Amino acid sequence: MHEMSLVEGVRELINDAAVREGFSRVKQVRVEIGELSGVEREAFAFCFDIVMKGGIADGARLEVIATPGRGRCAACKRETALAAIYDPCEHCGAYPVEVVGGTEMRVIDLEVE
């Protein structure tokens, strides 16, 4: 359940931004969570509601943008879709595939007032 720690990280980024940007209420939080980031989105959303309670993002809507996993095949050098980091290349069936996308964990923006 490291999703709890990750959401606490989001809360700290929000609190820091509130001081910097001078807002007192967050209505929506948009995050990007890659499919290969090891983050369970359901758990993340569940923790979000709990962690934000009593703070400036209490009740805020969470929007999660899921970036698909992408890899580059070591054998045929082509880009391939990657549902899991141990998947073979979709073109030639070889391993290993170097992960080039889908591990993101970012706060994109906040809707505030």
Strands in the chain per DSSP E:
26-34, 61-67, 70-73, 79-81, 97-101, 105-112
Interaction residues for other proteins, span 71-90 (CB under 8 A): 74, 84-86
Q: Indicate which single residue of 13, 45, 75, 81 sits in contact with other proteins (rule: CB under 8 A).
A: 13
- Please give the Cα distance from 107 to 86 (Å, whole number): 27
Window of 23-31, 64-72, 75-83 that interacts with other proteins by CB under 8 A? 23-31
How many C-alpha atoms does 109 have within 13 Å on its Cβ side?
A: 2
Question: Applying CB under 8 A, does 45 fall inside the site for other proteins?
Answer: no
Q: Indicate which single residue of 34, 48, 51, 60 sits in contact with other proteins (rule: CB under 8 A).
A: 51
Question: Applying CB under 8 A, does 101 fall inside the site for other proteins?
Answer: no
- Please give the Cα distance from 92 to 61 (Å, whole number): 42
Window of 4-12, 60-68, 75-83 that interacts with other proteins by CB under 8 A? 4-12
